[in-house]
Amino acid sequence: MSIHDPLVFQKDLAALVPNLRAFARSLAGGADQADDLVQETLVKAWKHRDSFAEGSNLKAWLFTILRNVFLSERRKRKFEVADSDGMFADQLSVKGSQASRMDLLDFQKAFEKLPHEQREALILIGAEGFAYEEAALMCGCAVGTVKSRVNRARAKLAEMLGVTGAEDYANDDFMVRTRAHGS
Amino acid sequence: MASDSDKKEMPARTDKVIERTNGALEPDLPIEARGQIGSQLRKVYGDMLQEPLPDVFSKLLSDLARSETEGK
């Protein structure tokens, strides 16, 4: 059955909404803004579904749309960058989490200090498992740029979180020099 | 003379060195540090994927699908 069958496409989109929400939160920060972003993405995806090449990666296609919506809304200054809500604000009371509450708080705070290009790269590569080449296509940049962003994101996070053995590898051009512990 | 101790440790402690950017080699984090960052990231991300979805999304999708099959 063709993916352009409305019911099939609806089902395929629905299956990816959790991923879209998670990606949107890493870009937009607040949960409400992220959900708005996802809805706009779904509407756009639906409108342009004939341009989706059957057999290609639907998630990558949707993530690219979401990313473009985010950037154009940001240009219109609709979204604040990393507001006080926090990307993972709702995650602090997850059940069965082995990480302590303080660990998750620290991670959230540290993550939000990253520039959005680095947050995006880290999510695509480290959380969603896209290949570097795919991520580069989605972000409209070179593979080396994605790698560089991921490495810098990791180095900054590691330094902010006080991860052992990372100090020698941290870059000097941090936006914010803070220590997570004791804050 | 002692040269290695003056420089930052390079590939011996890492499993990967990325290509040159801005004319300087950027060594990746040691694998243990990367592992810690990665697993925290994936834990938090994975938890978010498990969240129950607000109704708005399924409603939006069924509205979009219905507007296709009806109308025109």
B10 sits in the region (left: phi over 0; alpha: psi -120 to 50; else beta) called: beta
Nearest by CB to residue B29, choosing from A38, A90, A155, is A155
Quick one: closest CA in A to B62, which residue? A10
Contacts of A97 in chain B (CB under 8 A): 43, 47
Task: Give the DSSP per-residue string, A27-67.
Answer: HH-SHHHHHHHHHHHHHHHHHTGGGSPTTS-HHHHHHHHHH
Q: What is the pTM of this model?
A: 0.73
A13-17, A66-70, A76-80, A175-179: segment of lowest average pLDDT = A175-179
Nearest by CB to residue B41, choosing from A43, A122, A152, is A122
pLDDT in tens, B60-72: 999 999 887 775 4
Contact status of A10 with chain B (Cβ, < 8 Å): yes
| Complex ipTM value | 0.73
**What distance in Å separates the CA atoms of residue A165 and residue B32, rounded to the nearest whole number?**
8
pLDDT in tens, B8-64: 444 444 444 444 444 334 567 788 888 889 999 999 899 889 999 999 999 999 999
Asked if A163's CB is within 8 angstroms of B36's CB, the reply is: yes
